[in-house]
């Protein structure tokens, strides 16, 4: 079923009896050519591109819970491609380009909104760093603009640029950045993959791998053994736990990140804004709520909930640039578990086991990567060669020392 304005009107006039399920609820077959473990954004996008771009059939996505219940439905919805390093920037710019055509491609309203992202500058050194990053972005074909305080005040007139504790000296803007309705991305990819014959199987947890003579032959699940030619792990915050079942120890730790939504208020923020003297980022949803976040909780955990000290810390960051935030009531907060890699960059690679592949290490920036990650992972699974934008995302960089340390924080995952 195609979605369209005409369809909405027709269904409205006929009692909404014509809508079908967006994807089939299906029992697993005994074997597949490709099994993707994890029905988050990345897993579903991988299955979609495997079918669409590489013509693969007999593909299944195995999800232990329900589609959209992981980080894909828990993030603060920000997309951008404002990275510095060569290993990263072309990949994230590829992703942003895929976002730009995604709704038409999927025939699904994912509310892709290129409302722009603005990183505020609070010191001379920060301005130098942001100019360098902006130049790297432009060299890689992305858009970047250095804004003066006068330019910023035109869009954000309430900012206190010169009399705040951390005066604002300018900002780096990426006008093509913005927000996307996160769970609609999962649903859109799930529907698109299902239409191309992919089996999406919920409530099916992978509990082990069948590995014989160095080759992965399939997976044990809560719904029985399922054979496969190739198995792609794609479980974000559960990566370490899952890959331990294949006797792998990953350069990844799992940490909790929280997100917050205020009550709905009148339009205030035209785009995404980030505070440069602390960790705070904020946008306003179409319903009027301020959607914001900050630092991770600072300890390892697989619990999808956070703690009060970080709520206080995030709100302090918010109050530093938006003091009026203190008058708004917090409606909701929640947490997600993220796969923090040791250099802050992801891994899309084969493993030492034939037929077993890995995608993870997205830290708290993997939502914006969803389309490119799916495309690149599908490329790797289908052709056994890395996609041209993901050649640096290999396991061996941690052995050879070719880290992609985007933030220069070293091997401290809690800081990335
Ligand atoms: C609060 C918060 C805010 C964030 N904000 C942003 C942001 O603004 N911008 C941005 O780019 N990124 C952001 N991120 C990061 C982003 O959400 C993640 O990096 C990205 O969603 C991870 O990929 P995914 O969608 O595939 O993960 P998930 O949706 O978590 O998918 C993984 C799936 O694997 C399943 N799974 C786990 N173990 C198994 C198993 N054994 N068998 C079967 N299935 C299994 C899980 O149930 C889950 O559904 C944020 C994250 C959080 C938590």
pLDDT digits (tens, 9 = 90+) for 27-77: 999 999 999 999 999 999 999 999 999 999 999 999 999 999 999 999 999
C-beta separation of 369 from 99 below 8 A? no
The CA distance from 52 to 55, in Å, is: 6
Q: Which residues contact 249 (CB under 8 A, 6 or more apart)?
A: 240, 243
pLDDT of amino acid 78? 98
pLDDT of amino acid 414? 85
- Ligand 1 center–CA 239 separation, angstroms: 10
Task: Tell me how far apart the terminal alpha carbons of the chain are, to the nearest angstrom.
Answer: 42
- Ligand 1 center–CA 242 separation, angstroms: 14
203, 235, 294, 301: residue to mutate for ligand 1 pocket, most atoms within 8 A of CB:
235
C-beta separation of 62 from 201 below 8 A? yes
Q: In the chain, how many H helices and how many E strands?
A: 10, 18
Q: What DSSP element (H or E) covers 337?
A: strand 330-341
Q: What does the angle CA 60 – CA 242 – CA 408 come to, to the nearest 5 degrees? A: 110
C-beta separation of 233 from 356 below 8 A? yes
Parts of the chain with a pLDDT under 50 = none
The CA-atom distances, in angstroms, between 249 and each of 244, 253, 278 are 6, 10, 33
DSSP state of 144: -
What is the pTM (predicted TM-score) of this model?
0.97
DSSP state of 323: G
pLDDT of amino acid 410? 87
28, 40, 91: residue to mutate for ligand 1 pocket, most atoms within 8 A of CB:
40
pLDDT of amino acid 342? 95
How confident is the model over 260-277, as pLDDT tens digits? 999 999 999 999 999 999
């Amino acid at each position: 079923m195609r979605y369209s304005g005409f369809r909405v009107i027709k269904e409205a006039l006929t009692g909404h009896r014509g809508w079908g399920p967006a994807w089939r609820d299906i029992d697993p077959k005994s074997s597949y050519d490709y099994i993707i473990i994890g029905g988050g954004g990345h897993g579903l996008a991988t299955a979609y591109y495997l079918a669409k771009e590489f013509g693969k059939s007999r593909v299944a996505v195995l999800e232990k819970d329900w589609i959209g219940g992981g980080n894909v439905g828990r993030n603060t919805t920000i997309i951008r491609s404002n990275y510095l390093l060569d290993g990263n920037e072309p990949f994230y710019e590829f992703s942003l380009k895929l976002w730009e055509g995604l709704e038409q491609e999927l025939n699904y309203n994912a509310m892709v909104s290129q409302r722009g992202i603005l990183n505020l500058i609070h010191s001379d050194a920060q301005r130098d760093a942001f100019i360098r990053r902006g130049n790297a972005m432009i060299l890689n074909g992305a858009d970047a603009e250095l804004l003066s305080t006068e330019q910023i005040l035109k869009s954000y007139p309430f900012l206190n640029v010169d009399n705040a504790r951390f005066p604002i000296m300018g900002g780096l803007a990426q006008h093509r950045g913005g927000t996307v309705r996160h769970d609609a991305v999962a649903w859109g990819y799930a529907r698109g993959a299902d239409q191309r014959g992919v089996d999406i199987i919920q409530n099916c947890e992978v509990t082990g791998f069948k590995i014989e003579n160095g080759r992965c032959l399939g997976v044990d699940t809560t719904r029985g053994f399922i054979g496969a030619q190739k198995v792609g792990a794609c479980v974000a915050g559960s990566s370490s736990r899952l890959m331990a079942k294949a006797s792998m120890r990953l350069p990844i730790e799992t940490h909790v990140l929280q997100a917050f939504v205020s009550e709905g208020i009148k339009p205030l923020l035209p785009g995404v804004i980030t505070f440069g003297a602390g960790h705070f980022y904020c946008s306003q949803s179409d319903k009027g709520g301020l959607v914001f976040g900050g630092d991770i909780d600072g300890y390892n955990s697989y619990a999808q909930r956070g703690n009060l000290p970080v709520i206080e810390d995030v709100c302090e960051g918010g109050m530093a640039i938006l003091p009026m935030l203190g008058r708004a009531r917090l409606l909701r907060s929640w947490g997600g578990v993220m796969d923090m890699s040791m250099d802050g960059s992801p891994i899309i690679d084969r493993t030492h086991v034939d037929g077993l592949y890995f995608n993870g290490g997205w830290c708290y920036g993997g939502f914006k990567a969803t389309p490119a990650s799916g495309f690149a992972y599908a490329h790797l699974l289908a052709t056994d060669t890395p996609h041209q934008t993901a050649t640096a995302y290999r396991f061996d960089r941690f052995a050879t020392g070719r880290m992609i340390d985007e933030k220069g924080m070293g091997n401290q995952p809690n800081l990335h």
